[in-house]
Structure 1
Amino acid sequence: MQPSDKVTNQKDLQDFIQFIRPLIQVIDSIKREPFQLRSLSIPMRWEVTRRHPFYQKLWKDSANFHRQEITSTNPFEKIKRESAAKLLALIGVSGEPPDPRTPFSELGESELNNAWLSGAVHPVTLRGMAGILLATLPESTLGDLGLYLIEASCEKNDKEKYSRENSLSKLASYKCEVLDSYTAEPLVSVNPAASQRQISEAIKSLHGQWKNERELKEQRDRSDKNKTYLEVWDLREGFSEEGAYNISEEQKLSEIAEVVGSSISTVSNHYRSAFEMIIGKPYSPELWWNTIGVFKLSKFDLKHNILSQIRPRKSRTPRPVSESRLGLGIDSLKQTHLQKKHEYTLHDLIMDISSLIDQGLSDDEIQSNLEIKAKTSELAQLLTWMRSRTSEIEK
């Protein structure tokens, strides 16, 4: 290997670590609660998903992963793309993700049956059924079932029908209690010949049973207000119709209250409701910084001008998070690089500056406390922005 190759590979590795570390640090903040996204209509699912900061950050790499396009010789590019796809799965995104600039009307709205648009019910694709089997069946059963599938797919001539029937016959006689059990997913087969009353009564009974088993509380239907919540969110966070965030377009809650003609407390409640729809968890200042904040902070040019000047003032103990939760084989990277020594990250900077602002320190005092030698324009812009985010009643 030539010296230039070593330098390139080292840079590729550092770029990958810079990409993955902040996401791993806040992985618990990314994952949606079960059934949270399903409580929204399909159009609203898209609207909240395309506003999610990690969708904004990861959709391109995930799309390249699903397309299997080769656009780089970077040896870590494949892992990066797979990481993006796995992380997006934590917020309910499967398959190739669309560009967040795409309006829902261009995602096949006209082809969707209105019965599926309420969010209360939704279709399960064959891929989804296969995924349930892969996720729940024991390895031995998967192996036997795989053989039946292979047998049914082998013959592509006049005997194909017989091959399928033979596999179906073997499946019917296969002794396996797991295959005869019911999935944890609330799936049922509806008899279209039954009366609407019979179907409604049966589903009502099952619905109560499913809620009790999952300890889910009855929720009020606020679908008519969801659009209002997002309108407040877009004004506060600077989200435009082009599907991107612009920090310069952010407005204060007091300004938004004047625009929409509501009280600040009402606007604040709408903002919090939008936050929970988008992130999947109730609002808290810490969760905001771990999701929206860290995403927006990455838009400032801090890598060399500020972060490189700061060193931790005390030894930190990062919370251990196994990359195995992403289904990736990158444990060796974590052992040799991610945990070899603690490097100052955007997440660290957020926590430190937030704490210093809460203590009432001036910009100069914060600069001195962080031991930054020269006050750059980037630092001044950052402090101004962070003060604007900590000054209102969102706390």
Structure 2
Amino acid sequence: MPTISKKGIQMPASPIRKLTPFADQAKREGKKIYHLNIGQPDIETPEVMLNALKNIDFKVWAYTPSEGTLSYRTKLAEYYNKINYNISPSDILVTNGGSEAITIAMQACLNPGEEVIIPEPFYANYNGFACSADIIVKPIMSYIDNGFALPSIAEFEKVITEKTKAIAICNPNNPTGYLYSREELEALRELCLKYDLYLFSDEAYREFCYDGREFLSPMHLEGLENNVVVFDTVSKRYSACGARIGCIITKNNELYQTCLKFAQARLSPSLEGQIAGEAAVDTPDSYFEAVSKEYTARRDVLVAGLNSIDGVFCPNPGGAFYVVAKLPIDNADKFCQWILEEFDYNNETVMMAPATGFYSTPGAGQNEVRLAYVLNQDDLKKALKCLEEALKAYSLR
């Protein structure tokens, strides 16, 4: 029998999706599952985006330019320039989702065996993207006790070697919801300039900042024009996860041309996704105001509910729509499987993502889970009750 590649064996399974078979079985048994495991919002996609799809009238479903259509990139540039990115369409490369943006940039910026520093916990698929690109993730720990604030610059410098090529952040953060401050980003700017590093900025949750807090991008900082690589996507901003349209933004023309070669190798991003994405830029501000208000209310319900459960601790996040909570358990993977396989409360249960998959350090996050507040407030309250009862039952096993 032919053997599987070493890369295939090393590719990590998704902590977000790996428990799906157990959830499917629970559903077959008639249980209702509250899905807090994945960032799939129940917020409606903007009508202007859906109408663009309904009104498509092309006769041939053709390739688009590898970098994306000029009309879409022009529209995107207008959007970004409203928030002072000061870019042109030629700084934007359209990708098949934010995931492809990250994998292309990793391959364009780093040689096999080179290193990217990422504060952990981090988006689980960064591990998979790095595996695909044959690069090494060097994690530095952030801690739940201070809300997962950016580690000190001294901690970054401890792991910088001659192989270090980039630092990656997600702001606001997935999975923690932490929103980086101006001071933290300015410190990263100085570090990247000192060691001549790329700064990858995953901004999928840019629109989701709460309590009047400011969103700041490395694109707003002077002197980083050749260092910053922004990743973005329509998935979260417009509740359009299935559109699979993202982009890379960089003012570094040499890097842009290199990314374009990888984009040409995969031919083109989807035509219909770009049509919908272009229309989405005209989404009225009232849509985002309503969505932000709703997510703030959901966050407050979830965080307060979690912290009211005996033995549970959850910091209050400043953005995105996730929290990481510490539970009175010793193995999050076993608990998240057990609650699907063996537990129900009034024939209902909860699906969560074990936080272990959001760390690269072995053994980290053993008593933590990520929860996404992508369900309505009533469902969140019911999910919290299920979790409370499950923790009681789990402690008595």
Tell me the TM-score normalised to structure 1 length: 0.23
**Which structure's residues are more often strand, by fraction?**
2
Larger Rg belongs to = 1
